[in-house]
Structure 1
């Protein structure tokens, strides 16, 4: 298995070179670059869709400098990924969540394969010693904002909404896509 390093946000538009302002919406893409990945970030004005050869892209927002992210615990994300397996209508959300978990190194991509015309990601979670099969269901454009809200709800919810039971090592909040 190979782990790939994916660079952090460049904070600049790949087309204009302009630095992103706090709160500004921009788009990021991953392109194969030899034996690694190259990340490019595009301002909303410069975005005309993903470039040819791109393997993933997402819409995001430049955080304010004083804004500190509070990520959900890995266990919450894993449980949500597992719960979504039984919900075929949420396959696109599960795929996006898995990509995010790969980026955060909660999951490792072991292989991709085609099965009945669909790309399947096989990922491994060292924390639980479990492997998962994730169909690559790219969300339609009209569902992207909904998925973004659901992910933000899961990943950056208020501290009052996210409580951990130390006896069970599970979070008490629910997967937002349920």
Structure 2
């Protein structure tokens, strides 16, 4: 049997994987330029400007025109410039119709297409609603013939532990299986959850299933 501290470190690692995955899903607008002036632009995979041996990390396309303040509409062409201000590089974006030439201090300029807004595929659900869903899972019979349900219960338990809605007391052995002992911070439980020791790709797949199920059942 593992000590609670060891279990917490391992479960914490799983929760960090889930958090990192959420970050990986966000999509940025990339900048990859060979030179600095008057270049056509096409998105790459990172917000990065490459000039010789130097790499500059830039913010994505802005939401409003730096000249007139009008919204930069998705799928329209805008003019982006890189200016030097107080020893730092700053990106400004302009509507093509408002473009009046590069401002003072410009070190580079290019045209690009304003991207469509990114819609996150990660469902946001408050801890209490997720707790109710977890309690429903916990009430279902623990059927070894349904490993998917056991894994889903484990992932939800880890999410609630990370949100500080569950606390981990320890573990116990049931035959050759290790079971984690969770309880609610408001006195719920105890909840016995099979330690599934999931790989990253399994966590990804289960989170997708969880998102789909929660959206379908309109948990809020």
**Where on the TM-score scale, by shorter chain, does this alignment land: which range?**
0.3 to 0.5
| Larger Rg over CA atoms | 2
The structure with the largest helix share of the pair is 2
TM-score by length of 1: 0.48
